[in-house]
Structure 1
Amino acid sequence: MTEYRVLGRTGLNVSPLCLGAMMFGWWGEQSPEESARIIDRALDSGINFIDTADVYSQGQSEEFVGQALARSGKRDEVVLATKCHGAMGEGPNRRGNSRRWIFQAVEDSLRRLGTDWIDLYQIHRPDPGTDVDETLGALTDLVRQGKVRYLGSSTFPAHQIVEGQWAAERRGLERFVCEQPPYSLLARGIEADVLPVVHAYGMGAIVWSPLAGGWLTGRYRKDREVPESRRAGLLPDRYDLKLEANQRKLEAVEQLAVLAEEAGHTLIELALAFTIRHPAVTSAIIGPRTMDHLESQLTAADVRLGDDVLDRIDAIVAPGLTINPGDAGWQPPELADAGLRRRP
């Protein structure tokens, strides 16, 4: 892997595959030594971009990443990204996008990561109860204090991405330089709005779940038993094969697997190479739990899909289509709470 791409208009060069650390810690790989071995292999392959979040294993992922970078002595070579927003303990103020919590969360992340600065600090999800001006104001102070270099959002809808850009310009604040949305062969909804907006504002896009939460690894096939996974227990709507949307996903996977084989690639290579071919996408986040997982994904960085293959993908899953809306990563609260849609 020798190609590097500029993150938006920052001048910061990152690899097209980003090592996601969500599965390091008690959510996945519980050995800090094995996690470090995976991190070292990724860095040796040319990956220079690592993404984690405070909420992953309630801070343990950040600890494992920090320990690995300290042992390797490669902190200065790595673009290190993390996030805040999710609940980190009891109490109503240990979560969200308020100034109070952001200031506390960044100090906690710096301590766990064992570093003096975070290259990319991202807001993990929108917070309907917090004005974006409040959030950007707090983040701007962190940039000016030298604790954070760049700012990003994650899983924001297109209109809130625009709102954030306008707020930054209006108030003279640091802006979000990138967005981290879900994107895969089975979840292409962001092609209709988020990616065009990101491109228009000169932002980078770091896409998560390019393997659709495991659906595009080859484990989900019609002739195989449904694999057991922790994610299936936590997110049944995305994995329950009794649901019509998931049956449609399975049908698409079967066709995509055939296409991958005919094109001379693994399904994993097809899935990852597809996401990083989009002109608005900077990097795709891979989230290996084992060394074998990592090795099966590294080769995708060198795969370039021809237009004929991309046309066949479009015929299987139409551009802009997310087969199961549950794979979109976030829904407006108005969809979940009927009271927000009905005048009293």
Structure 2
Amino acid sequence: MRMRQLGRTGIDVSAYCLGTMMFGPNGNPDHDACTRIVHRALDAGINFIDTADVYGYSETERILGRALSGRREDVVLATKFNGPMGESPLHRGSSRRWIMKAVEGSLRRLNTDYLDLYQIHHPDPHTDIEETLSALTDLVRSGKVRAIGSSNLPASDIVQAHWVSERRGLHRLRTEQPTYSILNRVIEREILPVARRFGMGVLVWSPLAMGLLTGRHRKDEAPRSNARMHWVPGHLTDPRKLDAVDYPSTRPRKPRR
């Protein structure tokens, strides 16, 4: 398995990362099957696993906590915070209060005493980035988190975060996790240049466009209902994307010589 540096963290990760959004009630509710997937990935040389507290209403983290029993030290484990963890508006976001509560929940569910990478899942326009970075810096200094990163942040927010970190002496965002595939190359405009400028690692989600690039979904077929339709509404019914994935199968093939 090819290995890469995770930004400037000094952490070596496999080129492939096992994403786990579909573990649990939103995808595969069979805990034993999910555990087998994790073990198969580890045995194949993948040492990087990404999850989030909101996946499967926290069940995904619990599945991983059990699956990694006895193998935690072989894994670079990443999770995220910020998404809604209940009906109350106090149980979400990037405030210091919620970060400190959220990290303890993730540590408990994942059955570990530290996280290799802790990521802001989405932008939080209601919380000053300095408060967020200050709380995350304290987690790094306490040993509960090795490195911090972000996901789905616009380039302007990433630049602001680095500006604040430099001037306030806070830990920097070391990674960004955007969506990226041949059907969605928007990050090439701003995100990738900004990440390169600040030495950030980039770990992309949905490189297969949530199954569109696998042939699983076709234009003349009703989309299969799953959690992806909830998290990214309209993605599996976008006519431009469906046209793109159907095109190679409908155009005439040139005869081989």
Q: Same fold (TM over 0.5)?
A: yes
- Aligned twin of 1:58: 57
2:234 to 232, 237, 246: 237
Matches within 5 A, 1:308-323: none
1:228 to 196, 216, 224: 224
Task: For structure 1, list consecutive stretches of 5 or more residues without a partner in the other structure.
Answer: 241-245, 263-344
Query: In the alignment, residue 94 of structure 1 is paired with which amino acid?
Result: H
Contact 1:219 1:227 in 2 (8 A): no
Higher relative contact order (CA 8 A, sep 6+): 1
Moved more, 148-157 or 8-17: 8-17
> Percent identity of the aligned residues?
57
Query: In the alignment, residue 217 of structure 1 is paired with which amino acid?
Result: T
- Aligned twin of 1:47: 46
- Aligned twin of 1:251: 243
The answer to whether the aligner puts 1:136 opposite 2:128 as a matched pair is: no
- Aligned twin of 2:205: 208
Cα separation, 2, equivalents of 1:202 and 1:177: 7
Cα separation, 2, equivalents of 1:192 and 1:257: 30
Contact 1:62 1:112 in 2 (8 A): yes
Q: Offset of 1:183 from its aligned partner?
A: 0.3
Cα separation, 1, equivalents of 2:166 and 2:14: 29
Q: Offset of 1:216 from its aligned partner?
A: 1.0
State the SS of the aligned residue for 1:208.
Answer: coil
- Aligned twin of 1:296: none
- Aligned twin of 1:4: 3
Query: In the alignment, residue 19 of structure 1 is paired with which amino acid?
Result: L
Cα separation, 2, equivalents of 1:94 and 1:236: 23
State the SS of the aligned residue for 1:216.
Answer: helix
Cα separation, 2, equivalents of 1:76 and 1:256: 44
Contact 2:210 2:228 in 1 (8 A): no
Query: In the alignment, residue 225 of structure 2 is paired with which amino acid?
Result: S
Cα separation, 1, equivalents of 2:139 and 2:248: 44
Contact 2:27 2:226 in 1 (8 A): no
Matches within 5 A, 1:69-108: 69-70=68-69, 73-108=70-105
Cα separation, 1, equivalents of 2:224 and 2:175: 34
Query: In the alignment, residue 138 of structure 1 is paired with which amino acid?
Result: A
The answer to whether the aligner puts 1:127 opposite 2:124 as a matched pair is: yes
Q: Offset of 1:217 from its aligned partner?
A: 1.4
Cα separation, 2, equivalents of 1:116 and 1:11: 20
Contact 1:179 1:205 in 2 (8 A): yes
State the SS of the aligned residue for 1:182.
Answer: coil
State the SS of the aligned residue for 2:234.
Answer: helix
Q: Offset of 1:236 from its aligned partner?
A: 4.0
- Aligned twin of 1:298: none
Per-residue CA deviation, residues 92-132 of structure 1 (Å, 9 max, x unaligned), is 21100000000000000000000000000000001001010
Alignment CA distance shift 1:84-1:18 (3 Å): same
- Aligned twin of 1:322: none
C-alpha RMSD of the superposition: 1.8
Task: For structure 2, list consecutive stretches of 5 or more residues without a partner in the other structure.
Answer: none
Q: Offset of 1:255 from its aligned partner?
A: 3.8
Cα separation, 1, equivalents of 2:66 and 2:177: 25
TM-score (normalizing by structure 1) = 0.70
- Aligned twin of 1:182: 179
Contact 2:217 2:224 in 1 (8 A): no
Q: Offset of 1:233 from its aligned partner?
A: 4.7
Q: Offset of 1:31 from its aligned partner?
A: 1.8
Query: In the alignment, residue 219 of structure 1 is paired with which amino acid?
Result: R
Cα separation, 1, equivalents of 2:96 and 2:141: 15
Contact 2:27 2:227 in 1 (8 A): no
- Aligned twin of 1:20: 19
Cα separation, 2, equivalents of 1:233 and 1:143: 35
2:115 to 108, 115, 118: 118
Alignment CA distance shift 1:29-1:175 (3 Å): same
Cα separation, 2, equivalents of 1:232 and 1:74: 29
Cα separation, 1, equivalents of 2:40 and 2:23: 15
Cα separation, 1, equivalents of 2:7 and 2:23: 28
Q: How many residues align?
A: 252
